[in-house]
Amino acid sequence: MKFKIQALFVVITVFSLIVTVANLYSFNKQLHFFALRLSGRSPPPPHIIFIVADDLGWSDVSWHNPNMITPNLEKLARSGLILNYSYVAPRCSPTRASLMTGYYPHRIGLQYQVINHGDRSLPLSFDVLPRKLKDMGYATHIVGKWHLGLCSWKHTPTFRGFDSFFGYYSGREDYYTHKIGNMYDFNFNTEVYNDTKQQYSTFLFRDRAVDIIKQHNPSVPLFLYLPFQAVHGTLQVPPKYSKMYSHLNRHRATYSGMVTAMDEAVGDVVSALEQRGLSDNLLLVFLSDNGGRPIKGGYNWPLRGIKNTLWEGGTRAVNFVYSKTLLKDSSSVSNHLMNAADWFPTFLAAAGSKDVDLDMDGVNQWDVISKGAQPVRSEHVYNIEGRAAIRVGEYKLIKGDPGFQLGEHQPVFNFIGKGRKTANGWIAPEDIGSQKTKFGKPIAKKYGLFNLHDDPLEEHDISEDFPDIVEKLIGRLHHHINLSVPYVKSTPMTNDYSRLNVMTPGWCDK
């Protein structure tokens, strides 16, 4: 009897050893995940790399469109968690304001238009993400586009919690000269940086990111915010990259090359993280700040609409999370709603903070992302800017004209050339052979209703069939409209600042 028990014990021991070894080899990351939680110890805060692409469209990455060459991004996305319903505002400044604050743009006062030559700024009354992370012991760096104001020095990155800033203040500029109009806009911390040597910005930003990583002390948690200039217009890329797409029209080929250059830069950043030993406790998030703009080469096929519209094509972002150790379900896709404002509390929670403002619009999605917990968001406000849109469950209500511009992929009435078509006559933008393509009319009624579960491409306005649902969503929309604050006051650059021909902060300090 005793012998049998011993034999059983040996068998169990051997078996569990085998399982452990198997785990170690094949489920290394799961083991790590559970070990940390079983140990009851709070894990060390992860290094957070937050990469934001500018105006990257839904069909501008290889996992949505096989014509695109984005092997580095695809590898990260497919081995991480793809967020299939991640929403952003329809253009730059509102999305970036939400990312930095955890609030919807209409509660910040940045819901309309974009910040132009620093004529408006993210109000100082908001706590911003880098400051919060810095307070938790993070080293904090921004490399790339700020676009949240500079009228006062206090509005600029190194006064808002970033240890360093390497990049530009405005919304767009030349990729080589780093000028917007006559104005040079490239900075290192609080100084103008004149040493860009006309280098292509994607690679300047890559080199700076790699330097930060190489110099970083791995025992300190790192927050690197990397908002690339790519792939916003103007359309510029070294010819090597556009040549990869010579079968496409010139605009699209250049744009696609810009995407591939960015993909290469992301690959280099990830290699640097590996080499520096930062990749085992790493949370990497990649997000586009709004949909693509066909006249600038970006496509959102098969989604309807483009940048600046409240259609899904303007607001449903390419987004994934990558981590070797922090995700219970890797190589998977989440269809839960995510909103740009959610990243603020989500990053803080991932960093171990218990102190998240419950009144904010962003919700903490960390358990949803890392542990596959039950969804925490059932409602999402697209934007409130006169026209407005809200999603509640599977229903989307659009108030007013969601935006109508050439290329928004409404049903095509007069298609010239050959192309793939959906059942009701939409075409894949790569296949448009002619600028003469005509597009349909916007919603004529005051409200449109779509069921995004059955109709993710927003082809069928069902507002007349479901007046009760329309009423319910109007109620929710008004709840949010009531919370809106006015657009922040304009503080345009003074003439003596404009004459400097250098984007220089501080005219409000005078």
Ligand X SMILES: *[C@@H]1O[C@H](CO)[C@@H](O)[C@H](O)[C@H]1NC(C)=O
Please, which residue, 54 or 458, has the CB nearer to Ca ion? 54
Does residue 194 interact with ligand X by CB under 6 A?
yes
Please, which residue, 181 or 475, has the CB nearer to ligand X? 475
- The DSSP result for 434-460, as a single string, is -TT--B-PPP-SSEEEEETTT-TT---
Contact 451, 394 (CB under 8 A): yes
Of 54-62, 176-184, 214-222, 330-338: span binding Ca ion (CB under 5 A)? 54-62
Please, which residue, 156 or 290, has the CB nearer to Ca ion? 290
Does residue 451 interact with ligand X by CB under 6 A?
no
- The one among 173, 289, 342, 385 contacting Ca ion by CB under 5 A: 289
Please, which residue, 96 or 409, has the CB nearer to Ca ion? 96
Q: What angle do CA 419, 315, 56 make, to 5 degrees?
A: 65
* Positions in 335-354 near ligand X (CB under 6 A): 335
Name 477's bridge partners.
none
Residue 84, classed as helix, strand or coil, is: strand
Nearest approach, Cβ of residue 289 and Ca ion (Å): 4
Of 89-97, 203-211, 321-329, 476-484: span binding ligand X (CB under 6 A)? 476-484
Does residue 460 interact with ligand X by CB under 6 A?
no
Reply yes or no on whether 151 is catalytic: no
Q: What angle do CA 198, 202, 208 make, to 5 degrees?
A: 85
Rounded Cα distance, 442 and 216, in Å: 51
Residue among 32, 47, 92, 409 flagged as catalytic: 92
Report the first-to-last Cα separation within the chain, whole angstroms.
91
Rounded Cα distance, 80 and 51, in Å: 15
Does residue 55 interact with Ca ion by CB under 5 A?
yes
- The one among 436, 479, 489, 499 contacting ligand X by CB under 6 A: 479
Of 47-55, 145-153, 190-198, 263-271: span binding ligand X (CB under 6 A)? 190-198
Q: How many CB atoms lie within 10 A of CB 217?
A: 8
Contact 280, 29 (CB under 8 A): no
Of 26-34, 189-197, 217-225, 399-407: span binding ligand X (CB under 6 A)? 189-197
Cβ burial 18-39 (10 Å sphere, 16+ → b, else e): eeeeeeeeeeebebbbeebeee
The residues, ordered by sequence, that sit 6+ positions from 488 with a Cβ below 8 Å of its Cβ are: 108, 109, 110, 120, 121, 123
Rounded Cα distance, 266 and 260, in Å: 10
- The one among 40, 41, 42, 191 contacting ligand X by CB under 6 A: 191
Please, which residue, 364 or 504, has the CB nearer to ligand X? 504
Q: Which residue is nearest to Ca ion (CB)?
A: 92
Pick one of Ca ion, ligand X, none as the site partner of residue 54 (Cβ within 5 to 8 A by kind). Answer: Ca ion
- The one among 84, 190, 196, 405 contacting ligand X by CB under 6 A: 84
Residue 187, classed as helix, strand or coil, is: strand
Please, which residue, 227 or 448, has the CB nearer to Ca ion? 227
Reply yes or no on whether 92 is catalytic: yes
Q: What is the dihedral of CA 453, 454, 457, 459, to 10 degrees?
A: -140
Q: Which two tokens stand for residue 144?
A: 């790339």
* Positions in 139-168 near ligand X (CB under 6 A): none
Residue among 141, 147, 336, 380 flagged as catalytic: 147
With tokens 């500079």, the residue in question is 150
Does residue 54 interact with Ca ion by CB under 5 A?
yes
Does residue 92 interact with Ca ion by CB under 5 A?
yes
Contact residues for Ca ion (CB under 5 A)?
A: 54-55, 92, 289-290
Which residue numbers are catalytic? Answer: 92, 147
